[in-house]
Amino acid sequence: MRRRHLVEIADQRLCPRLFRNITTDVLRFTSVKTNMYAPILPRLKAVLQTLDCHDIVDLCSGGSGPVLLIQEQLNNREGYPVRVILSDKFPHLKAFEQVVEGTGCKVSFIAEPVDAASVPEGLRGFRTMFASFHHFRPEDARAILEDAARRREGIGVFEFTGRNPGIFLIMLLSPLYLLFAMPFIKPFSWQRLFWTYIIPLAPLVVLWEGIASNMRTYSPQELKELAKDIAVNGYAWDIGTVRGTWDLGKVHGIGLHKITYLFGYPM
């Protein structure tokens, strides 16, 4: 594999929760504001319909990520209602609670840590992972896919990062972007403003996390290598890329990135 597992600060146990939450909240804010995962919506709907599944278990949810926007679009635009359960190994409970309150309880969450490679037996539904699969080394990433396949649960892995010049350019501009965006990222925090404008450590952390994520992201061929040895009868894989987009209200266009996707589902 050409993939390189560079150190990501937020993955480290000694990383202060403040900085871990900053990275996940920035990712959520950006993915929702730009609607970056819109290109995978038709494929996701088709798989859910094939499985007759209306429950999404979002793994490694961080600050809730784009899954809530996906839920809204499936419910309202696509006419395919789904329920969403948020989960994470390091649950961002404050963000989860705000999501539940803001959505009128259309979303629920698991307060206890959930291991994506060993999802609790009672947690049933189509599993999604947005911009999080690259955090796992190959042996752990394969275990996540194998757990879904052996439990005969569907899984969708979606990444907007990758090893291409366009997304590296976006990451290099992220500190400047953060200087404009930070006051609008919820939940609001004076600590965040301090570490952004007084001691600008937050923009540097986000910059490094973005570069490391690009180097860690699995290519479609690498995802196929992970899945090929998972021998579960009647379980199919669909792996590829779609051109990314960005959407800022009245401004819509083609992005500089691709969305890499993996779908696994029982047939």
For residue range 124-166, list pLDDT tens digits in order.
999 999 999 999 999 999 999 999 999 999 999 999 999 888 8
Q: Give the position of tokens 């209200």.
A: 249
Per-residue confidence (pLDDT) for residue 106, from 0 to 100:
77
Q: Per CATH, is 36-165+216-266 categorized as 3.90.25.10?
A: no
Backbone angles phi, psi at 172, to 5 degrees: -65, -25
Count of C-beta atoms within a 10 Å radius of residue 174: 20
**Domain spans of the chain?**
36-165+216-266
- Residues in Cβ contact with 90 at an 8 Å cutoff, skipping those fewer than 6 apart: 17, 20, 113
Task: Assess contact for 57 and 93: CB atoms under 8 A.
Answer: no
* pLDDT tens-digit series, residues 226-262: 999 898 999 999 999 998 777 655 445 556 678 999 9
- Among 221, 65, 227, which Cα is nearest to 130's? 65
* Mean pLDDT across the chain: 90
Query: Which has more pLDDT, 11 or 159?
Result: 159
Between strands 251-266 and 155-159, the pairing is: antiparallel
Q: What is the pLDDT of residue 100?
A: 82
The SS3 call for residue 127 is: strand
Digit-coded pLDDT (tens) for 163-208 = 888 888 889 999 999 999 999 998 888 999 999 999 999 999 999 9
SS (H, E, C) the chain: CCCCCCCCHHHCCCCCHHHHHHHHHHHHHHHHHHCCCHHHHHHHHHHHHHHCCCEEEECCCCCCCCHHHHHHHHHHHCCCCCEEEECCCCCCHHHHHHHHHHCCCCEEECCCCCCCCCCCCCCCCEEEEECCHHHCCHHHHHHHHHHHHHCCCCEEEEECCCCCHHHHHHHHCHHHHHHHHHHHCCCCCHHHHHHHHHCCHHHHHHHHHHHHHHHHCCCHHHHHHHHHCCCCCCEEEEEEEEEEEEEECCEEEEEEEEEEEEEEEEC
What lies within 8 Å, CB to CB, of 206 at 6+ separation is: 22, 23, 26, 174, 175, 178
